[in-house]
Amino acid sequence: MRGLLQRVRRAAVHVAAVEVGAIGPGVLLLVGFAPDDTPARAEALLDRVLHYRLFADAEGRMNHSLVDTGGGLLIVSQFTLLADTRKGLRPSFTPAAPPAQARALYDHLVATARARHRPVASGVFGADMQVELINDGPVTLLLDVPG
C-alpha cells in the first residue's frame, strides 16, 4: 500500500465535470493498493495520515497533524502509484491489487476515515477523475505501509 500525502489549501475531485468531493485546508491522500494489502494495513495508513506531523506550529516547524488542526481529508484512489517503472518506457501495473480487492480496501479506508475524522471527502473508485489542488508549501510525502 502506498499513500501520497499532499498538504493542501484546498482540493477537489470531479467526475464527468461534477464535483464529487472537496476540502478546504488539509490533506489530499492519493492511495494505491497491492495484492498483499489488508484492511489492517489500510487502517495503519490512515492512522499515519491522521497523525503525521506536516502542519506548522507557532515556530514554523512541522509539528501538528491533521487531527491537531481539524483539517479536511480528501481520499482518491490511484492505482498508478503502484506502477513498476524500473525499466522500459511504459509502466507496468502488475504490482497493483486486482480491482475488486482494491475497491474493497478503498471503501474500507474511506469508511474508517469518516468514522474517525471530520471532514472527509473522497473520489469515485475506478472513475476517470480530475483532481485539482492548491499544494501548500509545497509539502508532498510518499508513505509506504510495511507488511
Write down the pLDDT at residue 59.
96
CATH number for 113: 3.50.80.10
3-state class (DSSP) for residue 114: helix
The answer to whether residue 124 is domain-embedded is: yes
Predicted confidence (pLDDT) at residue 144 exceeds the cutoff of 90 = no
- Reading phi first (left if > 0) and then psi (alpha if -120 to 50, else beta), residue 70 is in left
CB atoms within 10 A of CB 25: 17
Q: Which position among 80, 85, 93, 130 bears the catalytic label?
A: 80
Q: What is the mean pLDDT of residues 59-66?
A: 97
Going by the DSSP 8-state scheme, the letter that residue 84 receives in this structure is: B
Question: The pTM is what?
Answer: 0.96
The answer to whether residue 145 is domain-embedded is: no
Cα(57)–Cα(61) distance, integer angstroms: 5
Domain of 51, in residue numbers? 2-138
The answer to whether residue 116 is domain-embedded is: yes
Write down the pLDDT at residue 82.
94
94 is annotated as an active-site residue? no
The answer to whether residue 78 is domain-embedded is: yes
The answer to whether residue 147 is domain-embedded is: no
Q: Which position among 33, 78, 94, 140 bears the catalytic label?
A: 78
6 is annotated as an active-site residue? no
* Number of domains present in the structure of the chain: 1
Q: What is the mean pLDDT of residues 135-140?
A: 96
The answer to whether residue 143 is domain-embedded is: no
Q: What is the mean pLDDT of residues 102-116?
A: 98
Reported as a single tens digit per residue, the pLDDT across 23-52 is: 999 999 999 999 999 999 999 999 999 999
79 is annotated as an active-site residue? yes
- Kindly state the cell numbers that stand for 116: 474517525
147 confidence band (pLDDT: 50, 70, 90): low
How many residues does the structure list for the chain? 147
3-state class (DSSP) for residue 55: strand
Cα(52)–Cα(67) distance, integer angstroms: 9
Q: What is the mean pLDDT of residues 53-76?
A: 97
- Kindly state the cell numbers that stand for 70: 481539524
The answer to whether residue 146 is domain-embedded is: no
Write down the pLDDT at residue 54.
96
